[in-house]
Amino acid sequence: MSSDCLFCKIASGDIPSTRVYEDDVCLAFEDLHPQAPTHILVIPRQHVASMDTAGTEHKEMLGHLLLAAAKIARDKGFAEDGYRTVINTNGDGGQTVFHLHVHLLGGRQFVFPPG
């Protein structure tokens, strides 16, 4: 945990959130500024700043985040229609909170390329 990290404070319960899933490895909560009808953030409990700073020691956690996102999509009933997972990395990649997180977006059709 990082004492100055917004998502670490959410994970610890110091900042409230609308949690939709949690286990020993990760926590998922609704985004405060949704970019789709369903916009959930899936974060590891362990502080890792970005994909750029993740290492091979994080490979199980990274896979776990994606599998958790898929489970949430199924549980919430939008997996069959489709969804998008996004990991923004560093400034030019659109990352604004420097705690690794997966955006789980659903509830509408998405276009490609996204940006």
Q: What is the pTM of this model?
A: 0.95
96: tokens are 């604004």
Give the pLDDT confidence of 57-80 residue by residue, as tens digits.
999 999 999 999 999 999 999 999
Annotated catalytic sites, by residue?
Answer: 101
Q: Where are the beta strands (DSSP E) in 1-115?
A: 19-22, 26-30, 38-44, 83-86, 102-106
Which residue type occupies 35?
A: Q
What is the maximal distance between C-alpha atoms in the chain? 39
The tokens describing 16, both together, are: 């409230």
CATH, domain range 6-106: 3.30.428.10
Contact between 88 and 103 (Cβ < 8 Å): yes
Span 2-43, pLDDT tens digits: 779 999 999 999 999 999 999 999 999 999 999 999 999 999
